Structure 1
Amino acid sequence: MAGAVALVTMAALLAGCVARPVGDFGRAQPGVLHDQVMPYAGDLIATSRKEPVSNLNQTDQEREMHDRTWRFLVAPHSRDWMFDSSVELQRTRIGRARDHQFTTERYYNWLRTTTYQSSTTRYSTVGRHILADVDTVPKTFQSICAVLEVDRQRRVALAELGSIEQSVADNVAARRTENQWHIDWFVRALNYRYDSYAYALDHLLVETPHEQSMAVDENLRRLKAWVDRANRGDFCSGGAGGGAGGGVTIPSRFQTMVYDREVVPQK
């Protein structure tokens, strides 16, 4: 058994050097390697680590959640700034969670070293990336809410059906843990994106100041409402996210900025 696990581990690690293919709207493309081979290897490895591993059939809601959250876990638009290969190892459970170690300057470093004809294009790029997140996060929240409801229904069914074997109950508990781990991962990824965008905007303000930064900051404030909801675990209340702050307006960095009014003599 140990030899088989070692062989599968080696093959999976080699396969993990290739990031998972992404299709329209950042959703993962299906494939045997990434959907069957690597997850099978990951389940063996996770079991050897004494982690909960379920073998329940995946519901449509769980599949939808995994597809929609995937675009937030990776960043194909910016050359692996979110470490796509290591993310795939984490997703398939071949490797342990590493996203805790991600640092926020990586996105800005990619941005500033990418050649643009105009420095203002970098502001446009950040703004587009934030809006793409804002546009897709509502459906992602809905998919998470649907999975939370599936887990609740499983618990209710177990409580009402006394003839269900303990092994099935253990399977349900393991799947609930797996789902929660994935949701927690999404929340961390959403926070990481927000922090990375904020870091980039702050540094762009210093490096190449421009009034276009105000529009980007407004997009960032819209994303912050969703980040706050995710941190509260509020995936099911509905709404567009903008009112999720309970009437509290998130202050713009421009509202609190102390402007430099020094007059520089012209030579």
Structure 2
Amino acid sequence: MANLVRSTVALALTAILAGCVARPVGDFGRAAPSWTHDTAMPAVGDFIAANRGEPVSRFNKTDQEDEMHDRVWRFLVAAHAQDWQFDSAVELQRTRIVAPRDETFTIERYYQWLSRTEYQSSRTRYSTVGRHITADIDTLPTTFLAICKVIEIDRQRAIAYDGLGHDLPPRIGQEVAARKYENTAFIDWFVRALNYRYSSYDYALDNLLVETPHEQSLAVDEALRRMSVYVNRANRRDFCSDASAAHGGGDVVIPSRFQHMGDTEVVLPK
């Protein structure tokens, strides 16, 4: 028992030190392999989460669950914009060392980063926002598909346990419930992160329209309208329907901000 306590303390110290930095990033913005971030910190996090009274599953992750975590991760952090999404805090939350904290994130950080970044042309800020939104839109279909696969895995686990549970030890039912809790919590985190990104982009565009009005704002506004389709689907937890609606066939309930400028004619400089 003493050895277990010492090991836990040692891992906790490692996690505290490692938690001061974000998870390392590899090619194409993907998480890079790291023993500290992939093994040590999650082990400490599971221990701490269990002591907080949260369900912790000892099941091995399926390929589908690993894929979901990999694809969602880019929406939890913002390496392309200098930690405007609290990368270090996200890593501590991802590994369950701390309880969820993303609910307290405020949406002005992205605009603040954008505003203080020097560009040769003020129009480039619009291009930057548009590029970031487009990158998100391009990866959302596969992210939704990965989440859908995990929802199906949880359904299959429940069916299998209902049919075989009488032949299995009681702890298996607890593991099934714990993994369902973990997957649902992670999906909910993705939904919050997607809303946070959308709101941050929206806030930035509103401020840019006042600070440096340019015709490029129209393209960014249209990109936000396209992204809003995915945001609405995520808020409905609709990850498994045909994603083709997001490419122009679905209803966009968030109107253009230019429809809210009243009767005053707004002329953007050329």
Pair 1:251 & 2:255 matched? yes
Q: Does the aligned pair in 1 maintain the 2:226–2:247 contact within 8 Å? A: no
Distance 1:2 1:229, change over 3 A: same
Q: Which residue of 1 aligns with 2:212?
A: 208
Counterparts of 1:94-243 in structure 2 under 5 Å?
Answer: 94-161=97-164, 162-242=166-246
Identity of aligned residues (%): 62
Q: Which residue of 2 aligns with 1:75?
A: 78
SS at match of 2:202: helix
Distance in 2, Cα, partners of 1:193 & 1:9: 31
Per the normalisation by structure 2, the TM-score is 0.92
Deviations 1:65-115 (A, max 9, x none): 000000000000111000101100000001111100100000000000000
Residue 248 of structure 1 and its aligned partner are, at CA, apart by: 5.0
Deviations 1:198-235 (A, max 9, x none): 00000000000011100000000000000000000000
Per the normalisation by structure 1, the TM-score is 0.93
Distance in 1, Cα, partners of 2:234 & 2:30: 20
Q: Does the aligned pair in 2 maintain the 1:130–1:219 contact within 8 Å? A: yes
Unaligned runs of 5+ in 2: none
Pair 1:30 & 2:29 matched? no
What is the aligned-residue RMSD (CA, Å)? 1.9
Distance in 1, Cα, partners of 2:265 & 2:144: 44
Q: Does the aligned pair in 2 maintain the 1:142–1:236 contact within 8 Å? A: yes
Q: Does the aligned pair in 1 maintain the 2:228–2:252 contact within 8 Å? A: no
SS at match of 1:254: helix
Q: Does the aligned pair in 2 maintain the 1:22–1:28 contact within 8 Å? A: yes
Runs of 4+ in 1 over 4 A off after TM superposition: 1-4, 243-246, 259-262
Distance in 1, Cα, partners of 2:112 & 2:251: 35
Whichever residue aligns with residue 125 of structure 2, its letter is R
Distance in 2, Cα, partners of 1:85 & 1:245: 38
Distance 1:111 1:248, change over 3 A: closer
Residue 17 of structure 1 and its aligned partner are, at CA, apart by: 1.0
Q: Does the aligned pair in 2 maintain the 1:229–1:241 contact within 8 Å? A: no
Distance in 2, Cα, partners of 1:64 & 1:248: 29
Q: Which residue of 2 aligns with 1:49?
A: 52
Residue 24 of structure 1 and its aligned partner are, at CA, apart by: 3.3
> Which structure has more helix as a fraction of its residues?
2
Q: Does the aligned pair in 1 maintain the 2:14–2:40 contact within 8 Å? A: no
How many correspondences in the alignment? 263
Distance in 1, Cα, partners of 2:265 & 2:151: 53
